[in-house]
Structure formats: C-alpha cells, structure tokens
Copies of this chain bind each other. A is one copy, B any other.
Amino acid sequence: MSEVETITYPIERLQEFSTRVFLHFGVPEDDARLAAEVLASSDLRGIDSHGVARLHCYFDMLSLGRINPKPELKILRESASTATVDGDNGLGLVVGPKANEIAMDKAGEAGTGWVSVSNTNHYGIAGYYPLKALEKDLIGWSMTNTTKLVAPLWGAERMLGTNPIAIAFPGKEEPPIVIDMATCAAAYGKIEIAKRKGEKLPEGWAVDSEGHHTDDPEAMIEGGGLLPLGSNRERGGHKGYGLALMVDVLCCVLSGANWGPYAPPFAVRQYVPEKQVGKGIGHFFGAMRIDAFIDPDEFKMQIDAYRRELLATKPAPGTNGPLVPGDPEREAEAIRSKEGIPLVMPVVEELRDISKQIGIPLE
C-alpha cells in the first residue's frame, strides 16, 4: 500500500467540503449536513469506495438535475409496524436516514418498524443505518438495490445489483457486532484495482460477456458480470443469487422501485435502462426494539459472551483466528478520526475538480 500516493485530510475538512457542495445545489442545510455525515461515516470506517470518493458522482447527478435537491418524502401507505415511502428522487444520503428514522419511530410504538422506499438514489454504506439504530438501542437492518452488476448463477449478463444487507447488534461492555455485506463474491472496486495493477482476478469473482468464468478484469468490465456470493453452483452461488433477489424484492417490488436490471445508474457514465418498472432505486429498513423480545441487558450480556467466544476460537493456520464482524471498521474509525482520511490522488483530483468548478475551497 505504501507505494500509493495519498493526501490525508481531517474528517472535519472533508465533511465540511461535502456539506458545502450539497448546499451549492440548494440542498437544505440540515439535509446537506446529514448527507455529508453519511459519506464521512464511510471514510471513517475505512470503506473508501463509498465516501468522498463518490462525491463527484453526486455532484454530476445534481448538476444534471437528475437528483432532486429538495425532496419531500411521502408516506404512501402505512400500518402500525410498516411504511412505504416515496423519496421524491432525493439524495439517498438524505432519503435513507429519514426513512430509517420512520422505521425506528414505528418500532417505538409497535415493537418493530419496517420501511420500504422507492424513488430514491444511492444511500452510501448500508452499515450507516444500523449504526444509527444502535444509538437508540435498537437492532437495525438496512438493504438497498444498486445498478446492475451481478450475473445470476448460470446467467451470462448483469441482472442484479450488489444488493447489500446490514444489521447490527449491541453489546453491553463490549463493542457491537456490525454486519455489512454485499451479496456478491467480490466488490466491483476490486476488479478495477486489479485492472489498474495489471493483475488477474481470483477464481470465482467474475464472468465475461459470454458467461464464462474469467480472470481478466477487462472481460468483466466490458460487458461481463460479477458473480454472486458462493460463485459457482458447487460452492453455493445459487445462495448469493437468492440473497440478492431477496434484497431486491424487499427494497423495490415492495416499494414500487426499479428492480433487477431496471435500476437506474448511480453515476452519469453508467448505462441507463431504456425501460422503467418503478421509480428510482429502492431501500429497505428495519428496526427492532430489543425489549419487545427480551430483557435488553440479558441480550447484551449474551452478545458480549458470544463475541468473546468467537475471538477465542482456535485459529486457522496463518491467521489470528476469526474476527467479529464490524471490528475492522471500528478500528479504522478509531485511527482515522484522529489521524485523518488518506485519499488516493484520483479522489483528490476529483474533489479539486469540484472545488474549481464551484469555487468551494478544499484545502
């Protein structure tokens, strides 16, 4: 990693920059701060692909008027524990947190709350939302669909997004367990990195445009697809495909958004489907009150015990043993909140380009 040139910025600087970029497009101040907070949470947690590295995409979409800077969320339907929200084509970074709030409010009354969202856009890291639920002592769920990238098992074309699932469980004395995972075998960003470095892909990541498994990053990028978690039939690729489909139905079919190959693109350079089967992309949020099931202290003590048990597992050779999901990201946050966010030069250049175009200082 050391050969990659980076510039390190304090998170406050990046967050302020993002906020001002959103404000520039007429995003109301509270919403702009919220959107910047979601991006910052990704940069802090070491998920470099979903933080300010994507600010230029949001910038482009706002510049072209393809995202509504001042959405008014509408509840289309609701019950004691559910709501369906139309995000009015707003930033997912704004619509997502607000819809997540509705799920948490519902849980307060009904024990759980479940919100399916249409007419929205990319919402940052899936893990942000259950982290917000943790602040209220709730078990939070979050899912979203994304632009198509994944070929279903036995398919030779992209039909599904990378459709992540996130959920988090609080501990008492120990940190929480935070699960945040795309339902494909490997992230698209890893294909791009392999291409840049001239490396071959590991087996099980991708197919080419004919549906053959391929180790050539270019072959995936040029009309191929990512493979679902499990990769092939033998190792359970039908399971990753099933999970991606589950996420898509809960986010899109349940809300009236564009599912599967009809998901609109996140970036202006991406393919725009000719047909629409709903509005925008979709999210799905859940919130569960622990005390609606069990004494929260009892729950948290067991989570602590579970964590200790996992960390005490006999390690596989060449490893330090299993990690607890969410720990690497929490450790990254502890470091980066003090030492700042190291951005690779292509990202710095993108931010500088924004800065130059709209006169908001970065440095």
Which of chain B's residues have a CB closer than 8 A to the CB of A154? Answer: 315-316, 319-323
Q: Does residue A142 face the partner (Cβ distance < 8 Å to B)?
A: no
- CB atoms of B236 and A229 under 8 A apart: yes
Which of chain B's residues have a CB closer than 8 A to the CB of A177? Answer: 245, 249
Chain A residue total in the interface (Cβ 8 A)? 92
Which partner residue on chain B sits nearest A141 by CB separation? B246
Cβ-neighbour of A306 out of B82, B236, B260, B313 (below 8 A): B260
CA distance A21 to B109 in the complex (A): 45
Cβ-neighbour of A316 out of B114, B165, B207 (below 8 A): B207
Copies of the polypeptide in the assembly: 2
Cβ-neighbour of A235 out of B167, B204, B210, B277 (below 8 A): B204
Q: Does residue A356 face the partner (Cβ distance < 8 Å to B)?
A: no
- CB atoms of B152 and A322 under 8 A apart: yes
- CB atoms of B249 and A111 under 8 A apart: no
- CB atoms of A249 and B316 under 8 A apart: no
- CB atoms of A169 and B253 under 8 A apart: yes
Question: Which residues of A does B touch, CB under 8 Å?
Answer: 76-82, 84, 109-112, 114, 116, 139, 151-157, 159, 165, 167, 169, 177, 179, 181-186, 202, 204-205, 207, 210-212, 229-231, 234-236, 238-243, 245-246, 248-249, 253-256, 259-261, 277-278, 288-294, 298-299, 302-303, 305-306, 309-310, 313-317, 319-323, 325
